[in-house]
C-alpha cells in the first residue's frame, strides 16, 4: 500500500470501533478531534492494532494518544508505511 487515505481510516474506524453515536465520518473531518467524532483512545488503539497486523504499521501507544485528529494519525501511519517501503 503506497498511501493510507482518510477513506481507509474511516473504514477501519467503522470496522474496528463501530459507527460512533453523534459522530459523522463522512465529509471533511481531517482536522476534527477524534473525541468530537465520538472515538476515544481505546478505539484508536483497536484500529492501530489491526493496522499493525494487516499492514505492519507499528505505532507506539503514546503516539496514538497524541494523534488527536485524523490528519495527525494519517501522517503517522503514512510515515511508517514509507519507512517500511
pLDDT tens digits along 2-60:
799 999 999 999 999 888 776 678 888 999 999 999 999 899 999 999 999 999 999 98
Nearest Cα to Cα of residue 34 among 77, 62, 73, 69 = 69
Angle 19-22-27 (CA atoms, 0-180°, nearest 5)?
A: 75
Domains of the chain, first to last: 6-18+29-84 (1.10.1200.10)
Which pTM does this prediction carry?
A: 0.89
Convert the chain into a string of H (helix), E (strand) and C (coil). Answer: CCCCCHHHHHHHHHHHHCCCCCCCCCCCCCCCCHHHHCCCHHHHHHHHHHHHHHHCCCCCHHHHHHCCCHHHHHHHHHHHHHHHC
Amino acid at each position: 500500500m503506497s498511501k493510507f487515505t482518510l477513506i481507509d481510516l474511516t473504514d477501519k474506524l467503522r470496522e474496528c470501533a463501530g459507527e460512533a453515536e453523534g459522530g459523522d465520518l463522512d465529509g471533511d473531518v481531517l482536522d476534527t478531534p477524534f473525541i468530537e467524532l465520538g472515538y476515544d483512545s481505546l478505539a484508536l488503539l483497536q484500529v492501530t492494532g489491526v493496522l499493525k497486523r494487516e499492514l505492519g504499521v507499528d505505532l507506539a501507544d503514546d503516539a496514538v494518544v497524541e494523534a488527536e485528529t485524523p490528519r495527525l494519525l494519517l501522517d503517522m501511519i503514512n510515515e511508517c508505511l514509507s519507512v517500511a517501503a
